[in-house]
Structure 1
Amino acid sequence: MNYRKLGKTNFNVSEIALGTWQVGGKWGADFDHKLAESILHEAVDGGVNFIDTADVYGGGESEKAVGKFVKSRSERIYVATKCGRQLSPHTNEAYQPKVLRQFVEDSLKNMGLETLDLVQLHCPPTEVYYRPEIFGLFDRLKEEGKVQNLGISVEKIEEALKGIEFDNVTTVQIIFNMFRQRPSELFFEQTRKKDVGVIVRVPLASGMLTGKFSQESTFSEGDHRNFNRHGEKFDKGETFSGVDYETGLAAVEELKAAFPGYENLAPMALRWVLMFDEVSTVIPGASRPAQVQSNLQAAELPPLTSEQVKAVSAVYAKYIKPSVHQLW
């Protein structure tokens, strides 16, 4: 495993980490703590030292599983969580310092921790990024020892660029993958200038970039890949990276030609992300230990060849860029 500096936090984190949206089982299924524990052990045994969770994952069960797990290991494991998505309705007006403070304290209680290494605003409405009092709250929480660092999780480049204008924002979590390449432009340039850590989520486009889906693939009722393809519940960019399903399948078929011999494209898709020095860590999820093993393979792969990089760019330009690039 290789390690990279996470921006102004100065944490050295594994370049491949673990996202825990579905760590207790498949999306929409009941949370399985025994399964979560096995996935977490698999990740840390493989060199992972950074775990990303959120207070809404599994209705708080993900945080509980992560907190229990971290206390069971002797290694230094950095824990990042998120707050804000519990708000209903999830509006700018609902974001208030008092409410966010309570969310942070609830997360500490869920995980049984005295301080949070990193707490991230969880994809708030764009207007929130224009409110200094929201960001000022986390300075006070830091002074109180409840949090060590503030980060933001964003949907749009606009939000990321606005958020890092606040000096106390140390990290940005953003969607970046072979199907969502826009962050590599102005945003990455600004993170270098401001020493902001980049946490890449949805690196496999909700599994599309594994190359294992087809027209016949089905998803359970509680799986966002079933109910959120057009943004019915939250930003559609979180589901297949906002790419139309059929278009994604066609693009993946062409990608397969660039990576002959890889039945599972996931390691190559992750390796592509890691070729960008601005990326601090990538946080693929896993619903079983075997998926963790697959993801960790990316750390051992050589960089993509120039021909493979060109092939990825060509597929993006042909299938994805016209309909996706400017949306986020």
Structure 2
Amino acid sequence: MKYRRLGKTDLQVSVIGVGTWQYGGEWGRDFSQGEVTDILHRAGDLGINFIDTAECYGDHLSEMLIGGAISSARQNWIIATKFGHKYHGYLNRSEPRTPTDIVEQLEGSLRALRTDYIDIYQYHSMRNSEFDDMGVRDVLQKAKQAGKIRHIGSSISPNDNTHQTDGATAADVETIQVIYNRLDRKPEEKVLPSCQKQDLGVLARVPLASGLLSGKYRPGVAFPQGDVRHGKPQDQIDEQLREVARIQREEVPSGVSMATWALAWCLRHPAVSCVIPGCKSVEQLETNAAAADLD
């Protein structure tokens, strides 16, 4: 495994992390504690030290499964979680975002993760007006002073949100999480240069474009109900998959997994500290980890 400095946090993060939205039950299946434990223990064996989660991946469910897997080795992991949403059911969330809400969410995350501190506590796709809320900023500063969080980050949406990126330093935000992959290079225009200028750590999410860059799918694929990709316009999916086929034919070296190459492609940009693909199995995790060898 290789490691990079996560911007001004000075944390040394593995270039491959583990994204954990799937453990909340919104990717078409539920995960047992044993499955998550096996995946994260293997991740540790491979040198991966970064986990990204959120309070709304299930009702703190992903966090609870992570806590159950790593609490005995907490010191070996850098954990990033988020605030600003509450899970009510499949793709059904509300947005409790007052200072009082944030305090409650933080305490819930600490309990679920079985830890007394969170390494990176991230705004979760907040509106710009909410990002600017001085009451929320005050709550976060008090949590830092109490040692409950070490660093503040922002998981931005959309992925060209320059308001939150450019305003990061003033808000004591040290990391930016952003959708970035071979099919969506929008952050290269303004967001990534702004991160470099401010020395912000960059976490690239959705690096496999929700699996489209895995190389497993062809135009016409029908994603079943219960899959987050179900219901998206078929013409858009088919257009993206035709582009994936072209990329695989013209850019991916022979003998290299498309998924592994796609993760390594994200890491070529000097602003990116870590990519955070999800994985449903130990085998997928190992394919992801192999991207560090291509970087």
Using the size of structure 2 for normalisation, the TM-score is 0.90
1:215 deviates by: 3.4
Q: 1:181 offset after TM fit, Å?
A: 0.8
| Distance in 1 separating the partners of 2:191 and 2:272 | 11
Question: In the TM superposition, what whole-angstrom CA distance separates every residue of 1:57-77 from its partner, at most 9, and x where no partner exists?
Answer: 132221012112222337621
Q: Distance in 2 between matches of 1:107 and 1:277?
A: 32
**2:54 alignment counterpart:** 54
Within 5 A, what are the aligned runs for 1:28-67?
A: 28-67=28-67
The answer to whether residue 176 in structure 2 is matched with residue 172 in structure 1 is yes
Structure 1 CA distance for aligned equivalents of residues 74 and 28 of structure 2: 32
Shift of 1:19: 0.5
Task: Provide Cα deviations, 1:245-266, integer angstroms capped at 9, x if missing partner.
Answer: 0111110111111225347311
Equivalent residue number for residue 202 of structure 1: 206
SS at match of 2:149: coil
| Mapped contact 1:85–1:124 kept (Cα < 8 A) | no
Q: CA, structure 1 residues 142+66, in 2 after alignment: closer, same or farther (shift >3 Å)? A: same
1:283 and 2:276 aligned: yes
Match of 1:107 in 2: 109
Aligned partner letter, 2:51: I
Residue 257, structure 1, aligned to residue 249, structure 2: yes
Match of 1:218 in 2: 222
Deviation at 1:28, TM superposition (A): 3.1
1:154 and 1:173 in contact (8 A); partners too = yes
Aligned equivalents of 1:165 and 1:68: distance in 2? 34
Question: Aligned-pair RMSD on alpha carbons?
Answer: 2.3
Paired with 1:25 and 1:97, the residues of 2 have a C-alpha distance of 28
- Work out the CA distance in 2 between the residues paired with 1:74 and 1:174: 26
- Superposed CA deviations along residues 82-137 of structure 1, whole A, max 9, x for unmatched, are 1111178745xx42101111000110011111111111111112321232322222
User: 1:8 corresponds to which residue?
Assistant: 8
- Cα gap change, 1:25 to 1:43, in 2 (>3 Å): farther
Q: Secondary structure at the match of 1:51?
A: strand
Instruction: Please name the residue that 1:121 is paired with.
Output: 123
Alignment partner, residue 154 of structure 1: 156
AA aligned opposite 1:85: H
**Structure 1 stretch displaced more, 136-145 or 213-222:** 213-222
Number of the residue aligned with 2:187: 183
Alpha carbons of 1:277 and 1:162: their partners in 2 closer, same or farther (altered >3 Å)? closer
CA distance in 2, matches of 1:26, 1:61: 11
Gaps of 5+ in 1: 231-239, 304-328
Q: Partners in 1 of 2:290 and 2:220 — Cα distance? A: 28
Cα separation, 2, equivalents of 1:72 and 1:144? 23
Partner secondary structure for residue 178 of structure 2: strand
SS for the counterpart of 2:121 is strand
Q: What residue ranges of structure 2 are gaps of 5+ in the alignment?
A: none
SS at match of 1:218: coil
In structure 2, distance between residues paired with 1:39 and 1:178: 26
The Cα of 1:165 is off from its aligned counterpart by: 4.2
Q: Identity percentage over the alignment?
A: 34
Identify if the C-alpha distance between structure 1 residues 261 and 20 changes in structure 2 by more than 3 Å, giving closer, same or farther. Answer: same
Q: Judging changes above 3 Å, is the alpha-carbon distance between structure 1 residues 75 and 142 closer, same or farther for their aligned structure 2 residues?
A: closer
- What's the secondary structure of 1:10's corresponding residue? coil
Distance in 1 between residues matched to 2:155 and 2:73, nearest whole Å: 27
Q: Helix, strand or coil for the counterpart of 1:224?
A: coil
User: Per-residue deviation at 1:291?
Assistant: 0.6
Report SS of the residue matched to 2:273. Answer: strand
Of 139-148 and 211-220, more deviation after overlay is shown by: 211-220
Kept in 1: contact 2:37–2:70 (CA 8 A): no
Structure 1's 22 and 109: CA in aligned 2 closer, same or farther, altered over 3 A? same
1:15-67 residue CA offsets vs partner (Å, 9 max, x unmatched): 11111111477713223221111111121111100111111113222101211
Moved more, 9-18 or 261-270: 261-270
**Aligned AA for 1:55?**
E
Counterpart position of 1:136: 138
Determine if contact 1:129/1:162 at 8 Å carries over to the other structure.
no
Code of the residue aligned with 1:116 in structure 2: it is I
